[in-house]
Amino acid sequence: MRLSASTGLLTGLLLAGIAMATPSQAGEHPVVVELFTSQGCSSCPPADAYLRDLAEEEDIIALSFNVDYWDYLGWKDTLASPAFSERQRAYARKLGLSGVYTPQMVVNGVAEGVGSRRGEIGRIINKQDERSLPVEISFRDEGASLTLSVAAGTAPEQPATLWLVRYATAEEIEIRRGENRGRTITYAHAVRELTPIGMWEGNAMTMTLPKGELLTRGYEGCVALLQAGDGGPILGAAEIGSLN
């Protein structure tokens, strides 16, 4: 389908934890795949199934963002957020697209394609897999808390935002109206919260995050994304989950 073109307490806790840190050593980086989908989109279920498969890959961070702009078709998407729709629009502007559509997959913030076309997306992923994201990010489990470390690097030309993404491992939704009426679809790594937690200017930094508040029922996974500009390239990424 094509269309023409977080909480304050949590944010306060995260920002209070920023400190300088020793840069972590460079290593293998994952590929970030973001699916923009909708429960009201009849062409989306094959892409939802593909993302479920990608979520099982160790070297891929797979995230499902449900958008809200198809709600008028008869079914209000229960996982959608206007913020997710705006994130997709930012990618469309940056990638020079005429508008937004579903299902769309964006890979590392630099390439996109129709999310149900496994061959096409697979080639994009393989191309990105040959490159390393330039900034090392890592989570460390400290028991009651998590330590998020961002290594030092070349200062970006555009402001770089550190995003905290919280997702549900799997959301099974029975769709009762609209184009997918009568279907039950499972959404893997369904994003429930997208929060900016800091800006990065090239210096190493660490944050102490309250694990008990981050990884709870309905929020089983957590991803950190360092991203240039508004809808720009992903500079670094890390994922931690299933700790509740």
Residue 222 lies in a domain: yes
| pLDDT of 26 over the 80 cut | no
In the block, tokens 């995260």 appear at: 14
Tell me how many domains the chain contains: 1
| pLDDT of 174 over the 90 cut | yes
Q: How far is Cα 244 from Cα 240, in angstroms, rounded to an integer?
A: 11
Residue 1 lies in a domain: no
- For residue range 142-160, what is the model confidence (pLDDT) as tens digits? 989 999 999 999 988 888 9
pLDDT band at 23 (very low <50, low <70, confident <90, very high): very low
Residue 77 lies in a domain: yes
| pLDDT of 97 over the 90 cut | yes
Mean pLDDT of the 214-237 span: 93
Mean pLDDT of the 177-190 span: 96
Residue 141, number of CB atoms within 10 A of its CB: 12
Q: Outline where DSSP puts E strands in the chain.
A: 2-4, 31-37, 60-66, 99-101, 104-107, 111-114, 137-141, 145-150, 160-174, 184-200, 205-210, 221-228, 234-241
How much of the chain, in percent, has pLDDT values that exceed 90?
A: 77
The burial class, CB within 10 Å (0-12 / 13-18 / 19+), for 224 is buried
Residue 8 is predicted with a pLDDT of 42
Residue 28 is predicted with a pLDDT of 61
In the block, tokens 């020079």 appear at: 96
Residue 123 lies in a domain: yes
Q: Respond yes or no on whether the N-terminal peptide bond of residue 156 is cis (omega within 30° of 0).
A: no
pTM, two decimals, is 0.88
| pLDDT of 214 over the 80 cut | yes
Residue 186 is predicted with a pLDDT of 98
Residues 6+ apart with CB under 8 A from 60: 30, 31, 32, 33, 54, 125
Domain that holds residue 158: 6-241
Residue 49 lies in a domain: yes
Determine phi and psi for 48, rounding to 5 degrees.
-60, -40
pLDDT band at 216 (very low <50, low <70, confident <90, very high): confident
Residue 1 is predicted with a pLDDT of 58
